[in-house]
Copies of this chain bind each other. A is one copy, B any other.
């Protein structure tokens, strides 16, 4: 199972710590991590995953494998620029957002538009004009809670893929 970790590339220190612990916790459960492969939250999550023997995939915006941070096992070279954000969230069976800038916001939007579950740790709050804050992002209390919620949501999605395959086959 693959889970996506998204977040700011210019990470504030406490956000990077949260991301690193998310990476460790995913690896302890033998879950593969996919991210955008750059700095900040992405690097911290990959470092955490590798420290526990996990496997890390980077969906890179450019064409050079050495743009990936030092903790990436599989650099995927898209050359698509920011459009690669869509691939990051689609490849995860669930998405964990840690902190976040505007690129993260685009990833949250893509994920929610395609019914991919998003678990948030100190990330964006979204409010549509004249309504209470949107509840589509599942708020986690800490990295372990985020991973638990993400795994449960990802297992539900994998079962739905399985059912739709059985019914169509």
User: Which A residues fall within an 8 A CB radius of B?
Assistant: 2, 32, 34, 57, 59, 63-66, 74-83, 85-87, 90-91, 93, 99-110, 112-114, 122-130, 136, 158, 161-162, 164-165
Contacts and interface: CB of A to CB of B under 8 A. Distances in A.
B122 A125 contact: no
Given A76-B57, A83-B79, A102 B112 contact: yes
Given A57-B76, A108-B105, A124 B126 contact: yes
A80 B59 CA distance: 14
Contacts of A164: 64
Contact of A63 (B113, B114, B125, B162): B114
A63 B34 CA distance: 15
A109 B102 CA distance: 5
B83 A80 contact: yes
A90 B109 contact: no
Contacts of A103: 109, 113
